[in-house]
Structure 1
Amino acid sequence: MPPPDLVTAELALTGRITTASNATFLGTIGDTAVVYKPIKGEQPLWDFPDGFLAHREVAAYLVSEVLGWNIVPRTWLRDGPFGEGMVQLWQETDPDQNPVDLLSADEVPDNGWKQVLEGQDETGRMVALVHEDTPALRRMAVFDILANNADRKGDHILAMPDAHRYGVDHGLTFHSDHKLRTVLWGWLGDELTAEELEGVDRVVEGLRGSLGRELAGLLTATEISSLAARCAALRATARFPGPGGRGSAVPWPLF
């Protein structure tokens, strides 16, 4: 839980993010800048009919915390000007860093980057979707597999000045059916590291205890069982899986 003042003190709105598909506001709680997504502002989704997107965002934070990798900024539920919603600590990013990028196909670096796909832009030029080849993004890719993240766009990865990477916008997660859509496919088939497997083990253990109890108030029993099954499958193969299911393997738009 966040400090009590972040739950009970006034949440004052300072602006709105108009590019978001659901109502998303900037605000402050005292001197703390936050993002606020009220449940009343959520658009119904035919393929995510159960619960609320705000609950899934909080569930993603809880799983991130048990993994121990600080992937999701602190996120919690509280009341606000438009009723209960998800509140998340605002992050000041470094605009000069691009963990995911579109480059000319002949300019992809040989080292430090992974190419995901290649295509043509509106002028017919061949371009490549690439992302950093870093431990931070590998851990985020593992998190997305477990959370069954259906919307890991490039702009949902926040580049911090200290080279840390945060993941945000986790409303489309934890579906019981395969929904993984991500721009982080660069390690397809690669073995997981010992550290990454230990993180999966922590989630497995957490589901038997406090994590399982906390998720029970946010997700359906079937969704929690599916999370446990994804953990078991990933632990058994110990490799980054390939795309599955009948839908697209990447979100659209990519950014």
Structure 2
Amino acid sequence: MSASDSPAADRSWLTAELTVIGQVTTASNVTLVCEAGGGGQRVVYKPERGERPLWDFPDGTLAGREVASYLVSQALGWGVIPETVLREGPFGPGMVQRWIDTAEDEPSPGLVDLCPVGAIPDGYREVLRALDPGGHPVSLVHADDARLQRMAVLDVLINNADRKGGHALLGLDGRVYGVDHGICLHTEPKLRTVLWGWAGEPVADELLTDITVLVKALPGELGERLAGLITDAEIDALEARGRALLDEPVMPLPASQRPIPWPAF
């Protein structure tokens, strides 16, 4: 159980009236910042009516996929994804997610960052080399952090097609959170991520233990809850990905011509 989902956590936002106080204008779908009730608690609200249709994700809703991804994270016991629910909001039903407070001045380098080629900071892994807008060679790097590595394994399981650098947040509580999981859990391989630094390396035994628990839970209550959010074929594919990691506990290598989402941040 994550700290955000503990009995002591303030969960009044699950039913409180939502008041829109801002919008994330860089998001491809309508993403609103809301205040829940009168206590100043913030949440992220993505109404289903604000979703842009995707030809390759024709089933269900992106909001439903966000909630399904959260349920997988919780079933693993990892708490990577902030508490996420489907509920009514000012513009109808949608995904509502607990807001993650981060430092106003982000540490440098961040969890995922760019640095000059040949100047990779200690404790970071290089993912690729490219040219920045000024034509200077840079390396895309991410922290060699067990919290971030757990997120990378989760992305393999949920087949995350959009793990950008800006989707990994370092909370003020010291936890690392992943957000934006609307295009996950497809039946076909679609893994696109900036977290390739562990490609080809073994998955830790303690994570495999948790994956075993997930796979065993899918035919039961977890599968029933997911069935209201994603298709049966997608649930079967999730189980297959879990079993594949257990059979060959190694992080996959990039297998497509577009293994990193664009933009990367």
Q: Same fold (TM over 0.5)?
A: yes
Which blocks of at least 5 consecutive residues in structure 1 are unaligned? none
Q: Distance in 2 between matches of 1:162 and 1:126?
A: 35
Per-residue deviation, residues 20-60 of structure 1 (Å, max 9, x unmatched): 11011111112221000000000000111111000000001
Deviation of the 1:66 alpha carbon: 0.9
Report the 3-state secondary structure (helix = DSSP H, G, I; strand = E; otherwise coil) of the residue aligned with 2:140: strand
Question: Are positions 1:8 and 2:20 aligned together?
Answer: no
Q: Counterpart in 1 of 2:52?
A: 43
Question: Are positions 1:141 and 2:148 aligned together?
Answer: no
Deviation of the 1:243 alpha carbon: 1.5
Residue among 243, 247, 251 paired with 1:232:
243
Q: Counterpart in 1 of 2:75?
A: 66
Specify whether residues 241 and 37 from structure 1 end up closer, same or farther in structure 2 by C-alpha distance, changes over 3 A only: same
Aligned residue-pair number: 253
Q: Counterpart in 2 of 1:57?
A: 66
Deviating beyond 4 angstroms after TM superposition, the runs of 4 or more aligned structure 1 residues are: 1-5
Deviation of the 1:3 alpha carbon: 7.9
Deviation of the 1:163 alpha carbon: 3.3
Q: Which amino acid aligns with 2:145?
A: T
Q: Distance in 2 between matches of 1:162 and 1:108?
A: 27
Question: Are positions 1:253 and 2:238 aligned together?
Answer: no
Deviation of the 1:114 alpha carbon: 0.7
Report the 3-state secondary structure (helix = DSSP H, G, I; strand = E; otherwise coil) of the residue aligned with 1:204: helix
Q: Which amino acid aligns with 1:7?
A: L
Per-residue deviation, residues 150-181 of structure 1 (Å, max 9, x unmatched): 00000000112343210000001000000000
Deviation of the 1:203 alpha carbon: 1.1
Q: Distance in 1 between matches of 2:180 and 2:11?
A: 24
Comparing 20-29 and 4-13, the one that deviates more:
4-13
Q: Counterpart in 2 of 1:88?
A: 97
Please report the RMSD computed on the Cα atoms of aligned residues, expressed in angstroms.
Answer: 1.6
Q: Counterpart in 2 of 1:103?
A: 115
Q: Distance in 1 between matches of 2:83 and 2:208?
A: 23
Q: Counterpart in 1 of 2:125?
A: 114
Deviation of the 1:7 alpha carbon: 3.5
Deviation of the 1:6 alpha carbon: 3.1
Q: Which amino acid aligns with 2:119?
A: E
Which blocks of at least 5 consecutive residues in structure 2 are unaligned? none
Q: Which amino acid aligns with 2:188?
A: D
Q: Counterpart in 1 of 2:30?
A: 23
Specify whether residues 219 and 72 from structure 1 end up closer, same or farther in structure 2 by C-alpha distance, changes over 3 A only: same
Q: Which amino acid aligns with 1:51?
A: G
**Percent of paired sites with the same residue:** 50
Report the 3-state secondary structure (helix = DSSP H, G, I; strand = E; otherwise coil) of the residue aligned with 2:114: strand
TM-score scaled to structure 2, two decimals? 0.92
Deviation of the 1:195 alpha carbon: 1.1
Q: Which amino acid aligns with 1:18?
A: T
TM-score scaled to structure 1, two decimals? 0.95
